[in-house]
Chain A
């Protein structure tokens, strides 16, 4: 097995990235989007990726989710290469936008990916599973509502239900609450923790919000830009289950203060036009 660098790793590593580099070619120039990124998330863990805009955190998530092959380095999800993990439906994805089909109701939206993935299964079976998933996200009453009739938070719940319907081991979430207002955001955070505790999924979350990262995660990976790297993997000492009160606790304040300082330092470091590293891979 791969070595386990994460200090918060109590369970065996479920997601491992080692020396991941991603280059984008723009004409003749090579842009290094990720430089030598390593991280490890234990099974059933909750890790956040946080950093300034353009630091490559969404790119890293894409690499982990098997949507983008890295230029260098290796990634494994449950011991599999990401592409293989995708093929075996081990990975569920949630985007910032709910990306639902506007002409289908909530239930049919949840069923959509199952209908493709489980073409052999009966309609009733798929429907029953979709109903279960809607119940899990607390939307059984809204099964026949179309996305336009749902609030932003409800739409995102449907999107999470759709991802969970295929029973993936890992949930990759790219700023899933970024488009929601502050109050809904906090509600969704509490909701996501409930889902996490009940389903025992391994979750990787990309976020801009320090509070969100601290409130949700067991470990926060702080990134900086130029070169895009993880500068610290910070375990959050706050005890689970976390509730509204957790925001007021000492550990919460400590963690957010530390994160804020790290992000500011990273931000300051990138301000002068530092020469970009040239790709050597």
Chain B
């Protein structure tokens, strides 16, 4: 295995590493299967009512039987996540760039950004419904206020943690602040940005679900709430499962982009 991993050293997740990662999933899959079997056995032996704890098999049945309904809900939620996440990325990166580039203004802005982070943003959901209605907009707004922060903070760290000696060299040949930003700080911040995006994308999924809880006519969050009022617990579980699958999918899309485009890894000199 080590020979495969050594053959490419330009990325943390080289092909060898990816394959090693997949084979590393085998024990996890085994444990998961074992837990599911135990769950099935407990639910059957103790004859738990389905609305309290459905068996994995009944959840699977719902997953198949109501797949159209689930897929449509997943589509709605996924669009909210994608739009909200992209906007979070743009807003977060913009805030980081402004703070790093205009240091005077940045000193004023940074504490306010941190202060804003302490606001319990989930509590804003009803406000957003009031302001933006029941469709995409309030969910996107909620996602942005939740998810822009890790993007901004991580990217800012990347912009600021450049080697001061390198900046000295650049200045000694007459480089302007903009040149230093473009040639040194911005590329240096990309691995940090990716780390922020990975946190942001999982927060975006949470934001979408919470937004739907607060008021929606479609989506997985809406479906979870609707199904639980109807005591359709297997459907609740099925929808929750699809939420997690969405989260994992988005996470690995970012992971892939990171491996593909910022393969030099976290700031090795």
Contacts and interface: CB of A to CB of B under 8 A. Distances in A.
Interface of A: 66-67, 86-87, 89, 91, 93, 95, 97-103, 112-113, 115-117, 146-149, 166
Contacts of B163: 97, 99
Residue of B169, B174, B190, B268 with most partner-chain A CB within 10 A = B169
B92 to A, nearest CB: 21
A89 B166 contact: no
Given A116-B175, A146-B264, 20 more contacts: A67-B172, A89-B173, A91-B172, A95-B165, A97-B163, A98-B269, A99-B269, A101-B166, A102-B268, A102-B269, A103-B187, A103-B190, A103-B264, A113-B169, A113-B173, A116-B179, A116-B183, A146-B10, A148-B10, A149-B10
A146 B187 CA distance: 14
Contacts of B174: 87, 116-117
A100 B269 contact: yes
A102 B265 contact: yes
Nearest to B175: A116
Contact of A166 (B173, B183, B187, B262): B173
B268 A147 contact: yes
A113 B170 contact: yes
A86 B175 CA distance: 12
Given A112-B183, A116-B173, A116-B179, A97 B269 contact: yes
B67 interface: no
Contacts of A166: 173
A66 B173 CA distance: 12
Contact-size category for B: 20 to 34
Interface string B182-212: 0110011010000000000000000000000
8 contacts: A91-B172, A100-B269, A116-B174, A117-B173, A146-B10, A147-B268, A149-B9, A166-B173
Contacts of A89: 173
A27 B180 CA distance: 31
Contacts of A102: 264-265, 267-269
Interface of B: 9-10, 163, 165-166, 168-170, 172-175, 179, 183-184, 187-188, 190, 262, 264-265, 267-269
B165 to A, nearest CB: 5
A110 B170 CA distance: 13
A59 to B, nearest CB: 14
B263 to A, nearest CB: 9
A159 B114 CA distance: 39
Contacts of B184: 101
B269 A93 contact: no
- Nearest 8 CB-CB pairings of A with B: A117-B173, A102-B264, A116-B175, A95-B165, A99-B166, A103-B264, A99-B165, A116-B173
Contact of B269 (A67, A86, A117, A147): A147
Nearest to A95: B165
B170 A148 contact: no
Given A101-B184, A148-B9, A149-B10, A116 B265 contact: no
Nearest to A147: B269
B225 to A, nearest CB: 46
Contacts of A147: 268-269
